[in-house]
Amino acid sequence: MTSRPVRTRIAPSPTGMMHIGTARTALFNWLYARHTGGQFLVRIEDTDRERSTEANVEVIFDGLKWLGMESDEPPVFQFARADRHREAVAEMLEKGQAYRDYMTAEELEAERELARAEGRVVRSPWRDADPATWPDRPYAVRLKSPLDGETIVVDAVKGDVTFQNAGLDDLILLRSDGNPTYNLAVVVDDHDMGITHVIRGDDHLNNAARQTVIYKALDWEVPVWAHLPLIHGPDGAKLSKRHGAQAVSEFDDMGYLPETLRNYLAKLGWGHGDDEIFSDAQAIDWFDIKDVVSAPARLDWAKLNHLNNHYIRLADPVRLTALVVKILKSRDVTVRQGDEALIARTIPLVRDGAKTTLELADAVMFVLKIRPLELPERTVTQLADADLRARFVRLRAALSDVTDWGVPALEEALRRFAESEGVGMGKFGPQLRAILSGGAPAPDLAGAMTALGRDESLGRVDDALSLVA
Ligand code: GLU
C-alpha cells in the first residue's frame, strides 16, 4: 500500500453522454479523496478523435458540475500528451523492456490464427531480434512482458487477482503509425498525475494486469487498484436502455436532485450499515474502499424516488423555485412577474407529495392559473344546485372573516363552517377544491388557499358563484 498523499481520478471517454456508472465511479473517487484529505482529479480520455468533440467533453464537465464533483486541478486531456507517451516508450525501448515489432498486417493475421489453433497467445518473432536484422519499414512497439510466472493485481475490492503471464501477449505500446495505445497512455498519465488509487469499473480488471506489467517495466510504483462492480438494472441484468435512464443528464431531466443521486449512488456498492439517508459529510466521514462490496449493485427506482422526496422536502424553496420555473418554461408555461414569489410560497405547502421536481412543477400549476378559471364540468353542474350555491355564499362570508390567512386559521374556519352547517367537509370540500384549482392537482384546502393568498382565493370563489348566478 502506498504512503503517498491520496490522489484519485476519473478518466471518462467523451462519448456524448455521462453514464450513471461513470457518475458512481466519480463519486467513489471523490468520496475517497475527501475522506483522506487527498485530491480528486479528472482526465478526459479523448484519443478517439472522432467521438471526442468539444460538445461531448462539455457533457462530462456539465455532468460533474451538476453532481458537485469538480476536479481539484485543471483537467488533463490525454490526446495532448501523446508525445509524453512516446517518450515513455522510448525509455522502455532503451531499457530493453520493449521491442520493435516489424510484423506486417498479414504476418500478424497468420500468427493470430496459428496461436488460436495452438491455444496460446500471439508471439512476435521480433521479440529478441538482432538490431542488425531490422528491416526498413514501419514497426509497432511491443512491451516485453514476462513469459512465465504470474502477475497479481492487488485489488482493494476484489482481493488478489492472479493472471498467468503465459496468457498475456506482448502488449502493443505504440502502433506502427506512432500512436500510443490505450493501456500505455493510462499508465503514463496516471503516473504523471501522481494517482495513488485507481478506482474504476471492474470491466477494466484485465487492463489492470496489463497496466501492472507496464508499471513494473517502467519501475514505477503500482497504484492501489479498486475495481467496482457494475451497476445492474432492477432485474439483475447489466444496466441498459430498457431499464430507463442511463445518462446523468436524464436523471436531471426527470427531476432528480444531485444530492439524491450522490446519496443513492453511494449506496450502490457501498454502504454504512443499514443507513439509507446520509449527508455528504457523513458519507465522506464513513467512506472507505475496503467497504465496497464486490457483488453487482441493482438500481431501485422506488428507493431513488423515496430519497428524492426526502431531499425535495429538505431543499431551500428558493432553489426549488428556480428549478420549477425552468421546468415550467420548458413546458411553455408563461411565468409572469410575481409568479416566482407565488411559486416559492406554494412549494413548502405542496412538496411533501413530490417524488421529483417535475411533480413539484405539476403541484404548483394551480396557483399560476389566471382568473376566471375554467371549472370542471361536474363542478359547474353541482353549483347549479340552489342549496349548494347558498352554502357557498355562506362559506365565502365565513372565509372572508378569517383575518390571519394561514393554514391553521383556515383549517379552523373550515371546520367551524362545516359544524355550523351541520354537515361533513365532504359536502362542500371537493367543490371548493375544484373552484380553487380548476381541477389541477392541489394540496388540501387550507394549504391551497394559503398558497393562493386571500384575494385570489376569495376571487376564485366569487368567479364560481357568478358563473352560475
Ligand atoms: N476511459 C475509460 C472508460 O471510460 C476509463 C479508464 C480508467 O478509468 O482507467 O471506461
For residue 21, what pLDDT is reported? 93
pLDDT in tens, 199-218: 999 999 999 999 999 999 99
Same domain, 89 and 169: yes
Q: Does residue 237 contact residue 229 with C-beta atoms inside 8 Å? A: no
Q: How confident is the model at residue 239 (pLDDT cuts 50, 70, 90)?
A: confident
User: 391 CA distance to ligand 1 centroid (A)?
Assistant: 69
Q: Does residue 247 contact residue 19 with C-beta atoms inside 8 Å? A: yes
Q: To which residue does cell 411533501 refer?
A: 352
- The one-letter amino acid at 61: F
Residue 308 clears pLDDT 90, i.e. is over it: yes
DSSP secondary-structure letter at 238?
B
Distance CA 455, CA 450 (A): 11
Same domain, 70 and 95: no
Cell reading at 143: 512491451
For residue 120, what pLDDT is reported? 95
Q: Which residue from 45, 198, 206 has its CB within 8 A of the most atoms of ligand 1, so it is best to mutate?
A: 45
Domain stops at, among 339, 368, 397: 368
> Closest Cα to atom 6, ligand 1: which residue?
11
pLDDT in tens, 338-395: 999 999 999 999 999 999 999 999 999 999 999 999 999 999 999 999 999 999 999 9
Return the active site residues.
241
User: 199 CA distance to ligand 1 centroid (A)?
Assistant: 10
pLDDT in tens, 169-205: 999 999 999 999 999 999 999 999 999 999 999 999 9
| Residue 46: half-sphere exposure toward Cβ, Cα within 13 Å | 20
| Residue 285 domain-assigned (yes or no) | yes
For residue 297, what pLDDT is reported? 85
Residue 289 clears pLDDT 70, i.e. is over it: yes
Residue 1 clears pLDDT 80, i.e. is over it: no
Task: Count the domains in the chain.
Answer: 4
Distance CA 209, CA 168 (A): 9
Ligand 1, closest atom to CA 45?
1
Q: Which residue from 200, 202, 207 has its CB within 8 A of the most atoms of ligand 1, so it is best to mutate?
A: 200
Section 36-54 average pLDDT: 95
| Residue 213 domain-assigned (yes or no) | no
> Closest Cα to atom 5, ligand 1: which residue?
11
Cell reading at 258: 444531485
Range of the domain at 403: 377-467
Distance CA 90, CA 96 (A): 10
Residue 148 belongs to domain with CATH number: 3.90.800.10
**Lowest mean pLDDT, pick from 47-56, 71-80, 256-265, 399-408:** 47-56
Same domain, 100 and 175: yes
Ligand 1, closest atom to CA 12?
4
User: 200 CA distance to ligand 1 centroid (A)?
Assistant: 7
> Closest Cα to atom 7, ligand 1: which residue?
11
Ligand 1, closest atom to CA 15?
4
Domain stops at, among 156, 185, 214: 185
Q: Which H or E element spans position 154?
A: strand 150-155
Cell reading at 103: 510484423
Section 261-289 average pLDDT: 94
Ligand 1, closest atom to CA 9?
8
As beta bridge partners, residue 224 has: 197
pLDDT in tens, 14-24: 988 999 999 99
- Tell which residue, 329, 333, 327, has the closest CA to residue 357: 327
> Closest Cα to atom 10, ligand 1: which residue?
12
Same domain, 91 and 180: yes
What is the percentage of the chain residues whose pLDDT exceeds 70? 99
Residue 57 clears pLDDT 90, i.e. is over it: yes
Q: What angle do CA 287, 291, 296 make, to 5 degrees?
A: 110
> Closest Cα to atom 4, ligand 1: which residue?
12
Domain stops at, among 299, 327, 347: 299
User: 12 CA distance to ligand 1 centroid (A)?
Assistant: 5
DSSP secondary-structure letter at 315?
S
What is the percentage of the chain residues whose pLDDT exceeds 90? 90
Q: Does residue 18 contact residue 248 with C-beta atoms inside 8 Å? A: yes
Same domain, 293 and 327: no
User: 52 CA distance to ligand 1 centroid (A)?
Assistant: 14
Same domain, 163 and 179: yes
Q: How far out from the chain centre does Cα 348 lie?
A: 26
Section 24-40 average pLDDT: 98
User: 169 CA distance to ligand 1 centroid (A)?
Assistant: 21
Cell reading at 86: 512516446
Helices within 331-453 (DSSP H only): 339-350, 357-368, 377-383, 386-400, 407-421, 429-437, 445-452
Pocket of ligand 1 (CB under 6 A): 11-13, 45, 186, 200, 204
Question: Residue 418: how many CB atoms within 10 A of its CB?
Answer: 17
pLDDT in tens, 131-168: 999 999 999 999 999 999 999 999 999 999 999 999 99
Distance CA 178, CA 47 (A): 13
pLDDT in tens, 313-322: 999 999 999 9
For residue 2, what pLDDT is reported? 57
Same domain, 358 and 433: no
Same domain, 59 and 106: no
Q: Which residue from 195, 204, 215 has its CB within 8 A of the most atoms of ligand 1, so it is best to mutate?
A: 204
For residue 33, what pLDDT is reported? 98
SS3 of the chain: the string is CCCCCCEEEECCCCCCCCEHHHHHHHHHHHHHHHHHCCEEEEEECCCCCCCCCHHHHHHHHHHHHHHCCCCCCCCEECHHHHHHHHHHHHHHHHCCCEEEECCCHHHHHHHHHHHHHHCCCCCCCCCCCCHHHCCCCCCEEEECCCCCCEEEEEECCCEEEEEEHHHCCCCEEECCCCCECHHHHHHHHHHHCCCCEEEEEHHHHHHHHHHHHHHHHCCCCCCEEEEECCEECCCCCECCHHHCCCEHHHHHHCCCCHHHHHHHHHHCCCCCCCCCCCCHHHHHHHCCHHHCCCCCEECCHHHHHHHHHHHHHHCCHHHHHHHHHHHHHHCCCCCCCCHHHHHHHHHHHHHHHCCCHHHHHHHHHHHHCCCCCCCCHHHHHHHCCHHHHHHHHHHHHHHHCCCCCCHHHHHHHHHHHHHHHCCCHHHCHHHHHHHHHCCCCCCCHHHHHHHHCHHHHHHHHHHHHHHCC
Same domain, 38 and 96: no
| Residue 305 domain-assigned (yes or no) | no
| Residue 224 domain-assigned (yes or no) | no
For residue 236, what pLDDT is reported? 87
Backbone φ, ψ for residue 260 (5° rounding): -65, -50
